[in-house]
Amino acid sequence: MTSLLTIYGLGVRYDSRDLIRGLSFAVRRGEIVALMGPSGVGKTTILRVVAGLQAFDSGQVIVDGFALGPGPIPAESRLRPLRRRVGLVFQAHALFEHLSALDNVTLALRHVLGQSRPEAELLATKLLAELDVGSRAAAWPRQLSGGEAQRVAIARALALDPPLLLMDEPTAALDAARRTGLGTTLRRLAQQGRGLLLATHDMEFARDYADRAITLASAPPPADAH
Amino acid sequence: MNGAGAAIGCVCGIALGLLTQHDQSRALVWGGDAEGGAPFVEADPADPSTVRGFDVEVAARIAGGLRHGPARFVQVQWSNIDQSVERGDFALGLSGVEDTPVRRTRHAVTLPYFEFREVLAVRTADQDRIRGLRDLRGRRVGTLGATIAYELLLAARDSTGIIPVSYDDDVHPYADLVAGRLDAVLLDHIIAQRALKRNGNEGFVILPAAAAIGHYVGVLAKRDSALRDSIDAVLREAMRDGSLEQIFRRWQVWDDSQGALFERVLRPGAGGGTTAGRDGAVAAAPSRALAYLPSLARAAGVTLLLSFLSMALAVLVGLALASGRLYGPLPLRIFTTGYIELVRGTPLLLQLFVIYYGLAGVVRLPAFLAALVALGLNYAAYEAEIYRGALEAVPRPQLEAGRTLGLSEAQILRLVRAPQALRYAMAPMTNDFVALLKDSSLVSVITVVELTKQTAIYATNVGSWVVPGLLCAIVYLAMSLPLSRLARRLERRWGGRSS
């Protein structure tokens, strides 16, 4: 199976110290990989680097053939191919507060893919239904429970059908039943051929649902962490 | 004593001086407006802490005749002389105070000591076409607000269709006449002659025919009629012994009509009231109150229209400034920051003057447009800071979420950032709009008659601020309260709104 995400020799400096040094690993299609480690070790930073939200200092990141190099973040227009390849679910979900759940999902379909409103709403309704929040389509983000908001955020991240899905601390606000539900959902997404990279310090969840775990140690990190 | 102690001592001294200024019972305290200038009352160029002018000398002559101590001058805005004399700020108001029936009913008024003619000034090029008020149909005619001349213009508006334009001072009407903003100015002949002299005897001419005759009087509080009778006696004596004539001759305002006035006043059995030629211009008080309601409504309309248009301009320019400050290249960021600091750091009043009078040589904006531009550009600076703050208050993950979805920066601004920022901006914008509604009262200094100015005119004419002030406050509240409520409702609704 070919790698969907390849990280080679990644180095990120922060406040003139090495936060991440020489990190290399890969995520294949159909695979769930958990990035483990204590807080402050750089898990979220790695997700942000892959999502093109943060610059890095050395190494290379390749997402489904699209390569990111060290240095400043490229202009948004040059990152377009990356945006279609990577979906990110933020830890606090970051749903657009001024839009309904449905409109959160249709936004990119309409304004990035140029779909008509009915077309986008049809697809978004289907996505929300698949994630068991179809009945909450009209709700505002502040009316959603933590679990519901997370599912809407996953639906939003999947709207452009990216092969790679990144999730930051997905179980942080979930009770036991919800964690099981989320695990099942993630397995289903992986079976559809997506690669999933989760930043988590929930060892139990990683053991139950991830195919592999990459443990990051506190600085200075090992040269090769996989 | 150290610096701070000296400063405190100085402030205390000034405060004590202000508090005790009424306590000089020996002096005849009289009030006038030195801003009105020569030949009435002006700051003495040789010693600007003292005043000079024919009214100053008349006051001194009265004080001498009353065997009082010296006459002591108190500065008061011309349009507030009546109110201040009733308040007891001074005993006698003198400063080209006009003799009107309303003033006679509300205050104790001396006998007339000077006769003036209301004269029209027109541009030199127009002197063959314009010979009187009736030739000015549909034209703009300026004068000082709350004067007999203004009453004449209001009456002429109904009969001949001229457009009266009210000023707060008697200098700018002539400047605007020369600049082409006005077609004529109607004012006392002394003021017109002074303006012509100041202008180097060119630019406009004074028409020989008088539109009306009026008289200057002294005004005292209603309760001071005994003092008024004593002053009348002194004035008669000054007319008889020639000292009043000498004063007027010294100030070059003596003419034959003054001699005739003195004769009429000194004739046995002559009363004080010789307000010939303009009684029709001033109606009785009760009907005046009602008569002012339509003009108050019209002025409220001006305030509302001006406020809405200025706010619209402020919002547009404010958005542009905020975007420039947040997204623009360095030179644009420097420019917008400079603009915002300059506008917020200088008084709106100054900006009004600069835009209306200062720029007149470059672009001659009509008064309403100048007011709109000044208010709009001033509030734009405040709006810009509100929008910048609101845009910066949108959490970063919201913007990053937009980025990971592939939205362009422009789309993020339009679809994510601005709609959320709008909610944060609603409350301060409402506050600003209510403030603008009230600040719009400043534009009366550039001849726009809005609600507060109309109220001041109304109050001067009825001689009391109680009813006009209450009415004015009610109208302002009626305009601002629903706006605050509407904005609060919008703020609540925008807690969740579709794109």
Residue-wise pLDDT for A35-50, tens only, equals: 998 888 889 999 999 9
What gap in Å lies between CA B214 and CA A99, rounded to an integer? 71
H, E, C per residue of B246-298: HHHHHCCCCCHHHHHHHHHHHCCCCCCCCCCCCHHHCCCHHHHHHHHHHHHHH
Measured in angstroms, the CA of B422 and the nearest CA of chain A are apart by 10
Q: What is the pLDDT of residues B126-180, one digit of tens each?
A: 989 988 888 999 899 999 888 889 989 988 888 888 999 988 888 889 989 998 8
Token pair of A127, please?
């996505």
User: What is the structure's pLDDT at B191?
Assistant: 92
pTM, 2 dp? 0.68
Whether B286 shows a pLDDT value over 60: the answer reads no
Strand partners for B165: B142
Say yes or no: A117 contacts chain B, CB-CB below 8 A: no
**Nearest alpha carbon to residue A76 among B391, B394, B403, B327:** B403
Do residue A109 and residue A138 come from a single domain?
yes
Most A CBs within 10 Å, among B398, B399, B405, to test the A interface? B405
- Interface contacts A/B by beta carbons within 8 Å: 77
User: What is the structure's pLDDT at B380?
Assistant: 96
Last residue of a domain, one of A161, A184, A211: A161
Report residue B15's pLDDT band, with 50, 70 and 90 as the boundaries.
low
To which H or E segment does residue A147 belong?
helix A146-158
Chain B residues inside the 8 Å CB shell of A83: 403-406
Last residue of a domain, one of A139, A161, A183: A161
CATH code at position A31: 3.40.50.300
Token pair of B407, please?
């939205």
Report residue B24's pLDDT band, with 50, 70 and 90 as the boundaries.
very low
| Nearest neighbour of A96 by CB, restricted to B408, B409, B416 | B416
Q: What is the pLDDT of residues B28-46, one digit of tens each?
A: 999 988 877 778 888 887 7
Measured in angstroms, the CA of A94 and the nearest CA of chain B are apart by 6
Q: Which residue of B has its CA nearest to A52?
A: B404
Q: Which residue of A has its CA nearest to B422?
A: A98
Whether B108 shows a pLDDT value over 50: the answer reads yes
Do residue A77 and residue A176 come from a single domain?
yes
Look at B237 and B467; give whichever has higher pLDDT.
Answer: B237
Asked if A108 and B405 come within 8 Å (Cβ–Cβ), the reply is yes
Residue B94 and residue B32 in contact, taking contact as beta carbons nearer than 8 Å: yes
Do residue A70 and residue A23 come from a single domain?
yes
User: What is the structure's pLDDT at A49?
Assistant: 95
Strand partners for B122: B184, B205
What gap in Å lies between CA B45 and CA B423, rounded to an integer? 57
Do residue A38 and residue A110 come from a single domain?
no
Q: Which residue of B has its CA nearest to A79?
A: B406
**Nearest alpha carbon to residue A35 among A217, A157, A183:** A217
Do residue A120 and residue A183 come from a single domain?
no
Angle between helices B466-493 and B451-462 (to 10 degrees): 160
H, E, C per residue of chain B: CCHHHHHHHHHHHHHHHHHCHHHCCCCEEEEECHHHECCCEEEECCEEEEEECHHHHHHHHHHHHCCCCCEEEEECCHHHHHHHHHHCCCCEECCCCECCHHHHHHCEECCCCEEEEEEEEEEHHHCCCCCCHHHHCCCEEEEECCCHHHHHHHHHHHHHCCEEEEECCCCHHHHHHHHCCCCEEEEEHHHHHHHHHHCCCCCEEEEEEEEEEEEECCEECHHHHHHHHHHHHHHHHHHHCCHHHHHHHHCCCCCHHHHHHHHHHHCCCCCCCCCCCCHHHCCCHHHHHHHHHHHHHHHHHHHHHHHHHHHHHHHHHHHHHHHHHHHCCHHHHHHHHHHHHHHHHCCHHHHHHHHHCHHHHCCCCCHHHHHHHHHHHHHHHHHHHHHHHHHHHCCHHHHHHHHHCCCCHHHHHHHHHHHHHHHHHHHHHHHHHHHHHHHHHHHHHHCCCCHHHHHHHHHHHHCCCHHHHHHHHHHHHHHHHHHHHHHHHHHHHCCCCCC
Most B CBs within 10 Å, among A93, A98, A161, A197, to test the B interface? A98
Look at B486 and A200; give whichever has higher pLDDT.
Answer: A200
Asked if B405 and A84 come within 8 Å (Cβ–Cβ), the reply is no
Average pLDDT along chain B: 85
In a domain, A27, yes or no: yes
- DSSP 3-state assignment of A13? strand
Largest CA distance in chain B: 99
Measured in angstroms, the CA of B417 and the nearest CA of chain A are apart by 9
Residue A140 and residue B496 in contact, taking contact as beta carbons nearer than 8 Å: yes
A139: containing domain:
95-161
Do residue A111 and residue A155 come from a single domain?
yes
Do residue A153 and residue A169 come from a single domain?
no
User: What is the structure's pLDDT at B461?
Assistant: 66
Mean pLDDT within B283-303: 72
Do residue A103 and residue A140 come from a single domain?
yes
To which H or E segment does residue A209 belong?
helix A203-209
Say yes or no: A90 contacts chain B, CB-CB below 8 A: yes
Do residue A65 and residue A175 come from a single domain?
yes
Chain A residues inside the 8 Å CB shell of B403: 52-53, 76, 83
The amino acid that residue B340 corresponds to is I
Most B CBs within 10 Å, among A111, A112, A152, A167, to test the B interface? A111
Mean pLDDT within B465-490: 85
Do residue A128 and residue A52 come from a single domain?
no
Structural domain tally of chain A? 2
Residue B381 and residue B343 in contact, taking contact as beta carbons nearer than 8 Å: yes
Asked if B407 and A160 come within 8 Å (Cβ–Cβ), the reply is no
Is the ipTM above a cut-off of 0.85? yes
Mean pLDDT within B91-119: 93
Asked if A98 and B408 come within 8 Å (Cβ–Cβ), the reply is no
The amino acid that residue B200 corresponds to is G
In a domain, A90, yes or no: no
Chain A residues inside the 8 Å CB shell of B495: 140, 142
User: What is the structure's pLDDT at B92?
Assistant: 95
What gap in Å lies between CA B466 and CA B458, rounded to an integer? 11
Q: Name every residue in B having a CB less than 8 A away from some CB of A.
A: 395, 397-398, 400-409, 411, 415-416, 419-420, 423, 494-499
| Nearest neighbour of A112 by CB, restricted to B397, B400, B405 | B405
Token pair of B235, please?
């004035």
Asked if B397 and A51 come within 8 Å (Cβ–Cβ), the reply is no
Do residue A70 and residue A101 come from a single domain?
no
Q: What is the pLDDT of residues A157-200, one digit of tens each?
A: 999 999 999 999 998 878 888 888 899 999 999 999 999 999 99
Least confident range of B233-247, B328-342, B443-457: B443-457
The low-confidence residues of chain A, meaning pLDDT below 70, are: 1, 218-226
What gap in Å lies between CA A169 and CA B299, rounded to an integer? 62
Q: What is the pLDDT of residues B43-96, one digit of tens each?
A: 887 777 788 999 999 999 999 999 878 999 988 888 888 888 887 889 999 999
Chain B residues inside the 8 Å CB shell of A143: 496
Whether B280 shows a pLDDT value over 70: the answer reads no
Say yes or no: A226 contacts chain B, CB-CB below 8 A: no
In a domain, A226, yes or no: no
What gap in Å lies between CA A140 and CA B412, rounded to an integer? 19
Measured in angstroms, the CA of B486 and the nearest CA of chain A are apart by 19
Asked if A107 and B499 come within 8 Å (Cβ–Cβ), the reply is yes
Last residue of a domain, one of A132, A161, A190: A161
Chain B residues inside the 8 Å CB shell of A159: 405
User: What is the structure's pLDDT at B386?
Assistant: 94
Q: How many residues does chain A have?
A: 226
Q: Percentage of residues in chain B with pLDDT exceeding 90?
A: 49
Asked if A53 and B420 come within 8 Å (Cβ–Cβ), the reply is no
Largest CA distance in chain A: 52
DSSP label at residue A77: G
Mean pLDDT within B474-489: 85
What gap in Å lies between CA A74 and CA A55, rounded to an integer? 9
Do residue A170 and residue A78 come from a single domain?
yes
Q: Which residue of B has its CA nearest to A83?
A: B406
